[in-house]
Amino acid sequence: MVEIFSRANRFRGPVRAVILDWGGTVVDFGSFGNVEPIIEGFKENWVVISAEEARRGIGLSTWDHIGAILRQESVLENWNDVYGAPPSEYDMRKIFMSVENFSSASAGMHAQPVPGLPESVSLLREEGIRIGSSSSRGFQAVDALSEAAREFGYSPDSMVCSTDVPGGRPFPWMCFQNAINLETYPLESMVKIGDTVPDIQEGLNAGMWTVAVTKTSGELGMSLEEAGRTDPAELGMRISRLEKRFLDAGAHFVIEGVWDCPRIIQEINKLLAGGERP
């Protein structure tokens, strides 16, 4: 039975649902499954881009991600060297189709959960919290990813991708659709958790508590093995820089990984109990 809430009253908690991003948040430490199809999609169209260039705009819908990459001066120079003219919308569509094909084919290979995911999800569900999800990728890629993640024991209660709604991040539509699927409101009883600036913008635009993830994120771009062999002082400095970037983007909280989710939910519960809103 759905608990009835009246907007005439201030909601005082607790958190009813969380919406988790996929790559870089709950699976695929470093979010390589989002980057590799982008690199291959450009390569199939005769333009070579670096991993650093491919990560520009990560978290946006695939179409907008491609646009962000093509606006980089270094990429434009490479494109002009190959084609002798700036990329057109037709060129973008060709890249988009290539990226979508590579993404759908490889998504299932990037479903390894990040450390602490099973324990965190179990603790959240013990508190009666529903689990939603949003993704910048299209339906076929998310379907393959979710099927593979299910083999590892992770299956959210709601799955929404950018092609299910009028627009991807930073628009709030995926968050709103999750709220409908989960039959959960008010929006301040929900928490959006992701690993990119567009994730933060999505959560804020939806009026939800917004939590950003650093260590496992696509913006940091390090695999679990790379993070493990990086000098702790250097890793800490890089994480601190990213934390500042996320806080400057408006995140209410910043954590290293989903293993910190239960603790942060308790912090949000305290704020809600005091009548605060995001």
Domain of 228: which CATH number? 3.40.50.1000
pLDDT over 70, % of the chain: 97
Specify the pLDDT at position 4: 62
Same-domain status, 80 and 193? no
Is the separation of the CB atoms in 154 and 136 below 8 Å?
A: no
Q: Tell me whether residue 7 is in a domain.
A: no
Domain end among 109, 142, 177 = 109
Amino acid at site 165? V
Specify the pLDDT at position 2: 54
Q: Tell me whether residue 278 is in a domain.
A: no
Give 77-102 as a DSSP string: HHHHHHHSS---HHHHHHHHHHHHHH
Helix (H) or strand (E) holding 255: strand 253-255
Burial of 230-250, coded b for 16+ CB within 10 Å and e otherwise, reads: eeeeebeebbeebbebbeebe
Same-domain status, 78 and 127? no
Q: Tell me whether residue 2 is in a domain.
A: no
Q: What's the structural domain count of the chain?
A: 2
Same-domain status, 133 and 256? yes
**Which domain range does residue 120 map to?**
17-32+110-273
CATH number of the domain residue 38 falls in: 1.10.150.240
Domain end among 74, 109, 144 = 109
Domain end among 70, 92, 109 = 109
Considering only CA atoms, which of 148, 184, 177 is closest in space to residue 15? 184
Same-domain status, 179 and 252? yes
Q: Tell me whether residue 6 is in a domain.
A: no
- Give me the tens of pLDDT residue by residue for the chain, a chain 278 residues long: 456 666 667 899 899 999 999 999 999 999 999 999 999 999 999 999 999 999 999 999 999 999 999 999 999 999 999 999 999 999 999 999 999 999 989 888 999 999 999 999 999 999 999 999 999 988 889 999 999 999 999 999 999 999 999 999 999 999 999 999 999 999 999 999 999 999 999 999 999 999 999 999 999 999 999 999 999 999 999 999 999 999 999 999 999 999 999 999 999 999 999 999 99
Same-domain status, 266 and 129? yes
Considering only CA atoms, which of 138, 151, 65, 159 is closest in space to residue 109? 151
Same-domain status, 128 and 200? yes
Same-domain status, 201 and 138? yes
Tell me the C-alpha distance between 233 and 41, whole Å.
36
pTM for the model? 0.93
